[in-house]
Amino acid sequence: MQDLAEGVARFQRDVFPAKAELFARLATRHTLFISCSDARVVPELITGTEPGDLFVIRTAGNLVPAYSPESDGIAASIEYAVAALGVDDIVVCGHSACGAMTALAERHDLSGAPAVASWLRHADASVARTSADGDVSALVRQNVLAQLANLVTHPSVANALAQRMVALHGWVFDIPTGRVQDLTAPRAA
């Protein structure tokens, strides 16, 4: 915690004064960015964006539960970003060596972590898309595509897509090289 406290003090002293105007102005938030909670994946850092640019949702394994009538915090955040903020783009960003995808690909015993095991069921379709056992990279890619499909089940997203108001993108961030692969770019399709 000492590191964090010093970081906050450094932010207030060295960083904030230069960005005070940025924080004061109305945030624009043109993009909804959904990534893994992994500490190595920092959306603003890898996209070179500033406060106000990204509306961010982070979950273990960058999983987006398919729409259900019993809404939750994730569904509410998606709806708010799309229907209220009117984001132009939605990015689902997976990453290399994802712990959640590794647990699934390598069939780890999750009996001691029932909440994790239950949450990872939202990747059932991702697992079903991969044939090669233990191929974490393949699962990471297929999971991004499966979560994009889950995203489309949310009425706000379906509506924005029908009106061509939003575009969906699937990315994979490679931690060792810093590269981002766009799975949904026309050439990658």
Annotated binding site: 36, 38, 95, 98
For residue 168, which of 66, 54, 88 has the smallest C-alpha distance? 88
- Residues in binding site for Zn(2+): 36, 38, 95, 98
Q: How far is the CB of 139 from Zn ion (least distance, A)?
A: 11
Instruction: Pull the structure tokens for residue 50.
Output: 């500033």
Q: Is residue 180 within a helix (H) or strand (E), and if so which, with residue range?
A: strand 180-182
Of 6-14, 67-75, 98-106, 139-147: span binding Zn ion (CB under 5 A): 98-106
Please list the alpha-helical segments (H only) found in 25-174. Answer: 43-47, 73-79, 99-105, 114-119, 124-129, 136-152, 155-162
Q: Among 34, 36, 140, 157, which residue sits at the site for Zn ion (rule: CB under 5 A)? A: 36
Our finding on whether 139 is near Zn ion (CB under 5 A) is no
Residue 81 in contact with Zn ion, rule: CB under 5 A: no
Cβ at position 150, least distance to Zn ion in Å:
16
> 151 with 170: CB under 8 angstroms?
no
The reply on whether position 140 binds Zn ion by CB under 5 A is no
Residue 38 binds to Zn ion (criterion: CB under 5 A): yes
Write down how long the chain is. 189
Q: Does 98 bind Zn ion (CB under 5 A)?
A: yes
Q: Is the Cβ of residue 35 or residue 156 nearer to Zn ion in the bound state?
A: 35
Decide: 92 and 36 in contact? Cβ < 8 Å: no
Q: Where do contacts with Zn ion occur on this chain (CB under 5 A)?
A: 36, 38, 98
